[in-house]
Amino acid sequence: MPTIKINDVAVSVNPGTLVLDACRQVGIDIPHYCYHPALTPVATCRMCLVDIKGQPKLATSCTTTVPPAPKDNPEAVVMEVFTNTPAVADARAGVMEFLLINHPLDCPICDQAGECKLQDYSYNYGSGDSRMEETKRRYRYEDLGAKIVIDKNRCIHCTRCVRFTREISGGGELTVANRGSRLEVTTYAGKTMDQNPFAGNVVDLCPVGALTSRDFRFRKRVWYLKSVPSISRYSALGNPVWLDHEGNRVHRLRPRPLEGKETTLFISDQERAAYEVYNREDLAPAPSLRGAPASSDAIAEALRAAGPVAVVGQGTFGCDAAQRLGDLAAAEDLRYGSGDRTFPVVLPRFQTTSDGIVNRRGFAERGYRFGALGELLAKVQAGAVMAVVVLHDADFSSAEETALLGQILQAASFSLALEVAPSALGRAATACLPITSAAEESDFIVNHDGDLRRYSKALQAPKGVRTVPAWVKDLAAVPALA
């Protein structure tokens, strides 16, 4: 591997590595706007300039690559880079001044404030003054459909959003129109971003708050939000996300890219919008037995008296929940898996499966058999299984699967449903116990590719709502089930 020196620190990197990435490897973060690891480099913003020994002008580190070492001297230093010279500092201050020429000082009402690269770099590298005396260019904000709003006054023309729609999502809805100070990012005539199922990613990609989410716009100042690592539950990939919450409510979900995992760079709009399910609007249900409020002891007693127990675990819950629920089954082969939701694959590069059951693999590893509910129904009807415990989320079962589960509950002499929000199926069970949502507990899943992904508790569950392991501990305390 060739060696390069960055501010006199030697580092060995693969030939072809971008200088910007090599700098990161030694802990030097180069300011940048237009660079993004998933997009073609275009070097339009000029913010990432560095000094390379022997080159007459500063070079853009997002497009300059490390050359291979000479064959006869593989240890040779092939490049010397300086990121802290007066020329680099001057260039950064100059670029910031240019970028801010037409940028409005509307940080107090801008959604990006607090996580804005213009704010950060202006503070770190800007001159602190403006020589702009002319009137700034003005546009009125525009809706790019129902999901995205553009405020062109803020745009610095990095073209990340345009390249995303061309290179990643493929619709090419966005383009750059006009020239010079009239340059503007816009949609082709008559187009919106509504047809783009990944449109929300342009908001994350925009470094300056020009593209905003209709849903999140003016809703929260980001510095009030606490970010908790979580996962998206809407695909078997279990994409890592940041769950941003405040006041015991989730306000948004954002991708949480993992190093070296390209599929974690973007999430679909459906996954992004799923935060709403975590915000409880109704009072949490109380434990019930035959339609009346009941203690967990009474439910455990009724379960014990019923006879051999089978469990049905929907693969959308965590592995701890799967493990503990499985302990209730009278035999190892009485663990059944449920959940048959799929989603359309529109970006095969990022959506490597259409399976919508996030922890199918984790449940299978714990002995749950998927696609065998018909067998369970036969056992219940034959009296070999008398009681059924169902861990269920109505969002992830088709009408056919829900109907089959309904038949199983009806045929069993005792049934217990564990649900976050009561569904028609849960209400048909003999007993119900309210459980925590994924935002109210910490657990982990094993995704479609076999990766272990953890998610952490962000919200406080209502009083009386407990995790699956906590309920199962109570139920299993009854001797016959222990």
- What is the binding site for ligand SF4 (CB under 6 A)? 155-161, 185, 205-206, 208, 210-211
The helix/strand count (H/E) of the chain reads as: 13, 23
Rule CB under 6 A: say whether 274 interacts with ligand FES.
no
> CA of 360: how far to CAs of 77, 237, 402, 405, in Å?
50, 10, 17, 18
Angle between helices 86-100 and 117-125 (to 10 degrees): 140
Q: Residue 362: which of 293, 452, 273, 229 has the closest Cα? A: 452
What's the DSSP call for residue 313? E
102 in Cβ contact with 181 (< 8 Å): yes
207 in Cβ contact with 117 (< 8 Å): yes
Q: Which is nearer to ligand FES, 46 or 392 (CB)?
A: 46
| Residue selected from 19, 47, 321, 439 as contacting ligand FES according to rule CB under 6 A | 47
Q: Cα separation of 244 and 248, whole Å?
A: 10
Q: Which of ligand SF4, ligand FES, none lies near 274, with the C-beta cut-off 5 to 8 A by kind?
A: none
Q: Cα separation of 320 and 318, whole Å?
A: 6
**Which single residue is written with the structure tokens 């202006």?**
122
Q: Cα separation of 456 and 459, whole Å?
A: 9
Interface segment toward ligand FES; rule CB under 6 A; list 41-49, 114-122, 124-132, 239-247: 41-49
Q: Which of ligand SF4, ligand FES, none lies near 118, with the C-beta cut-off 5 to 8 A by kind?
A: none
Q: Residue 160 Cβ, how far from ligand FES at the closest point, in Å?
A: 10
Report strand pairing: 3-6 vs 9-12: antiparallel
Catalogue the E-assigned strands of 83-222. 142-143, 148-150, 174-177, 184-187, 211-213
| Residue selected from 2, 35, 392, 469 as contacting ligand FES according to rule CB under 6 A | 35
Q: Which of ligand FES, ligand SF4, none lies near 199, with the C-beta cut-off 5 to 8 A by kind?
A: none
Alpha carbon dihedral 245, 247, 249, 250, in 10-degree steps, equals -10
> CA of 408: how far to CAs of 336, 415, 471, in Å?
12, 9, 22
Calculate the CA 465 to chain-centre distance.
Answer: 25
Q: Residue 183 Cβ, how far from ligand SF4 at the closest point, in Å?
A: 9
Q: Which of ligand FES, ligand SF4, none lies near 212, with the C-beta cut-off 5 to 8 A by kind?
A: none
Instruction: Compute the half-sphere exposure of residue 121: CA atoms within 13 Å on the CB side of its CA.
Output: 25
Q: Which is nearer to ligand SF4, 210 or 405 (CB)?
A: 210
20 in Cβ contact with 48 (< 8 Å): yes
Q: Which of ligand FES, ligand SF4, none lies near 159, with the C-beta cut-off 5 to 8 A by kind?
A: ligand SF4
Q: Which is nearer to ligand SF4, 118 or 289 (CB)?
A: 118
Q: Which is nearer to ligand SF4, 214 or 369 (CB)?
A: 214
| Residue selected from 11, 43, 59, 428 as contacting ligand FES according to rule CB under 6 A | 43
Interface segment toward ligand FES; rule CB under 6 A; list 28-36, 181-189, 301-309, 468-476: 28-36
Q: Which is nearer to ligand SF4, 65 or 201 (CB)?
A: 201
Residues from 50 through 89 that contact ligand FES (CB under 6 A): 60, 62
Interface segment toward ligand FES; rule CB under 6 A; list 33-41, 198-206, 247-255, 259-267: 33-41
312 in Cβ contact with 367 (< 8 Å): no
Rule CB under 6 A: say whether 155 interacts with ligand FES.
no
Q: Which of ligand SF4, ligand FES, none lies near 206, with the C-beta cut-off 5 to 8 A by kind?
A: ligand SF4
Q: Which of ligand SF4, ligand FES, none lies near 32, with the C-beta cut-off 5 to 8 A by kind?
A: ligand FES
Q: Which is nearer to ligand FES, 144 or 155 (CB)?
A: 155
Q: Cα separation of 419 and 434, whole Å?
A: 5
Q: Which of ligand FES, ligand SF4, none lies near 45, with the C-beta cut-off 5 to 8 A by kind?
A: ligand FES
Site residues, ligand FES (CB under 6 A)? 32-35, 43-48, 60, 62
